[in-house]
Amino acid sequence: MSCVGRLFGTDGVRGVIGETLTPELALRLGRAIGAYFGPGSRVLVGRDVRAGGEAILGAVAAGLMFEGVKVYKAGLLPTPTLQYSVRRNGFDGGVMVTASHNPPEYNGVKVIAADGVEIPREDERVIEEYYFKGVGGRPASWRALVDDPKLHTTAIEDHVNGIIEQVDAEKIRRKGFKVVVDCANSVGSLETPLLLRRLGVKAITLNCNLDPEFPGRLPEPTVETLQLAAKLVVASGADFGVGHDGDADRAIMITDRGEVLWGDRSGTLLTAFAAEAWPELPRRTYTGVSSSILVEEYLKPRGIEVVWTPVGSVVISRTILREGGAISGFEENGGYMHTPLQTVRDGPMKTALMLYMLAEQGESLSQAASRLPRYYPIKTKLRASREEAECAVNAVKRFYSGLRRVEIDGVKVFGEDFWLLVRPSGTEPVVRIMLEARSPERASEVLEEVKRILKAECGIEG
C-alpha cells in the first residue's frame, strides 16, 4: 500500500493528550488497527499509568471491537509484560497505550504482533493507509458485539515466573542483595519490586506509587533524573539501583558507588556475561548507532560480533529475528533484549539478569563497570522542527566531511578522541545530540562546537 500520511514514529503513535492525541484519533486508529488484525482476531490490550490512558484505551478498544476483533483487557502493566503475554498465550496481537519516556502530557499507542514484538515498519504503513483512506466496508454487526471484552489478569505473574526461570534464583537468594528501584511513578511499580522479593532481594522503592503526574521525576531515566536514586543507593549501602521509564521496558543501572550507567555500558557487560551463560546463542549482538564505540572495543576481543543498526528498538528486534538470532540487543537509553526470553526491551528481565551476573561473578557492579573503556558522555536535545533537525544533520556532515561517518540514522562522526551522533528524534520535535570523548573537557568542547554549527547553519538555539 502507498501511504498518504504518517502516524507512527520511532516506537508507536504518540501525541499530547487532547491536542495531537484526541479521542477521535484514538477511535479511528483503533478501527485501522482492527482492520489490520482482521475480524475474529484475539487482541490483548493494556496501558501504563499516564493521564488519559483509560480514555484512549477505551477508544482504541471500541475501534477494535467495531472491526470484529475480540478484545482482552490486561489492565495496568509494563509494556514487556503485555508483549510476553501476547506471545505466550497465543494472542493474534496486542495494543499498549503508553508514551514510554515522554513527558507527562504525552500518551501513545504501540501495536504488538503475534510474536510479541512491535509490528514491522511496513505493517505500520498498512495501518496508516487504513487510517487516512478509511478502513473500507461496514463496522461489525451488532451480533459481533454481544460479548464484552474479556479480562486477562495473569500477565504480571506469568512474566515474573518466566523471568525467574531464566536465572539461578537460588544463587541470587543466597547473596542477600539489596537494590534500589525507582519506578517513575508508573507500572514498573507493579512488577519489579515483586520480582525482587521473589528473588530474595531487599527492594528499596522510590517513586513506586502510581501517579500520572509523575511527581517524583520525569519519566525518562537519565543521569539528571536519577540523582536522588543514586544518592539513595550509596546512603543505603545497596548493591545497585534501577531506574525505569514510564512503561518499564527500559532499565538504567546505578552502581554501588552511585554512578549512573548508560544502557550501552550495562548492555555491554550483560552481553559478555550472557555469551558465557548461554553458549548456544549466536555470538553477536545488535545495538543502535547511538551506542558508544566502547561496545566494539570491549566485545570484539571476546569473540562477539557487534552489528550497528538505526536507532529504535523495533528495528533492533526485527533485525535480530530476521537475521537468525543473537545473544542480545540493546540501546544506550537502557533498553535490553534478553533473547532467550523475548526479543524486546524488558526492564524487569534486565534487572534479574544483572542480579544473576553479579551473583555468578562475585563482584560489585562498580568493579564490573571499571573494566570498560573510559569515555565521558554528553547527551542532550534541542528544540527543532523536522526540517531544522534535517538541516542539523546536513550541517554536521559538511563540517566534519573529512572524518569517518556512519549515515544509517542521522550522522555519526568518528574523531581521533571523540565520537558524535546528531539525529532527528522519532518521538519528539527535537534534534538529539549524543557524543563521547576521552576527557570531560574535550566532550564539552565538541558539544559547544556542534551548538555553534547548528545555530549558524539552521537557527537552532541551544
CA distance 438 to 71: 52
Distance separating the N- and C-terminal Cα atoms of the chain: 40
CA distance 219 to 390: 27
The residues spanned by each domain of the chain are 13-153, 158-369, 376-458
pLDDT tens profile 121-131: 999 999 999 99
Q: Is 141 a catalytic residue?
A: no
pLDDT tens profile 235-261: 999 999 999 999 999 999 999 999 999
- DSSP track, 86-129: HHHTT-SEEEEE--TTS-TTEEEEEEE-TTSSBPPHHHHHHHHH
Mean pLDDT score, 349-364: 98
The CATH superfamily of 13-153 is Alpha-D-Glucose-1,6-Bisphosphate, subunit A, domain 3 (3.40.120.10)
Cα angle, residue 181 at apex, residues 95 and 78 outer, rounded to 5°: 5
Sheet holding 202-206, edge to edge: 202-206, 178-182, 240-244, 251-254, 260-261
Is the pLDDT assigned to residue 213 strictly greater than 90? yes
Cell numbers for 199: 528473588
Please, which residues bridge with residue 351 across strands? none
Is residue 362 left, alpha or beta, with left meaning phi > 0 and alpha meaning psi from -120 to 50? left
- Strand 328-330 and strand 284-288: the pairing is parallel
Q: The cell 517513575 sits on which residue?
A: 184
pLDDT, residue 138, reads 74
Is the pLDDT assigned to residue 54 strictly greater than 80? yes
HSE toward the beta carbon, residue 206, CA cutoff 13 A: 22
CA distance 427 to 101: 10
Mean pLDDT score, 340-353: 98
CA distance 201 to 195: 9
CA distance 101 to 107: 10
Lowest mean pLDDT among 123-127, 364-368, 375-379, 429-433: 375-379
Please, which residues bridge with residue 179 across strands? 203, 240
CA distances (Å), origin 461, targets 367, 383, 431, 440 = 40, 8, 11, 22
CA distance 411 to 421: 6
The runs of H, that is alpha helices, within 286-427 are 294-299, 313-322, 347-361, 365-369, 386-399
Is the pLDDT assigned to residue 2 strictly greater than 50? no
The CATH superfamily of 376-458 is Alpha-D-phosphohexomutase, C-terminal domain (3.30.310.50)
CA distances (Å), origin 314, targets 104, 331, 337 = 23, 11, 11
CA distance 37 to 52: 24
Is the pLDDT assigned to residue 49 strictly greater than 90? yes
Lowest mean pLDDT among 37-41, 176-180, 349-353, 376-380: 376-380
The residue ranking higher by pLDDT, 144 or 424, is: 424
pLDDT tens profile 133-168: 988 667 788 777 777 899 999 999 999 999 999 999
Topology given in CATH for the domain delimited by 158-369: Alpha-D-Glucose-1,6-Bisphosphate; Chain A, domain 3 (3.40.120)
C-alpha closest to that of 59 among 24, 94, 35? 24
Q: Among residues of the chain, what percentage have pLDDT more than 90?
A: 91
pLDDT tens profile 78-95: 999 999 999 999 999 999
pLDDT, residue 216, reads 97
86-110 burial, b at 16+ Cβ within 10 Å, e below that, comes to bbeeebbbbbbbbbbbbebbbbbbb
Q: How many helices (H) and strands (E) does the chain have?
A: 15, 20
Cell numbers for 27: 477511535
Is the pLDDT assigned to residue 4 strictly greater than 70? no
Cα angle, residue 320 at apex, residues 318 and 322 outer, rounded to 5°: 65
C-alpha closest to that of 377 among 337, 420, 335? 420
Mean pLDDT score, 278-294: 95
Task: Work out the pLDDT band at 1, boundaries 50, 70, 90.
Answer: very low
pLDDT, residue 3, reads 44
Which residues are CB-contacts of 135 (< 8 A; sequence separation ≥ 6)?
Answer: 31, 32, 34, 35, 67
Spot the catalytic one: 41, 85, 100, 313: 100
HSE toward the beta carbon, residue 403, CA cutoff 13 A: 19
Q: Chain-wide mean pLDDT for the chain?
A: 95
Lowest mean pLDDT among 278-282, 379-383, 427-431: 427-431
Mean pLDDT score, 280-299: 95
Mean pLDDT score, 34-61: 97
In this chain, the answer to whether the domains covering 13-153 and 158-369 adopt an identical fold is yes
Lowest mean pLDDT among 135-139, 271-275, 341-345, 348-352: 135-139
Tell me the whole-structure pTM to 2 decimals.
0.92
Mean pLDDT score, 376-391: 94
Is the pLDDT assigned to residue 40 strictly greater than 60? yes
CA distance 137 to 324: 39
Cell numbers for 306: 557487534
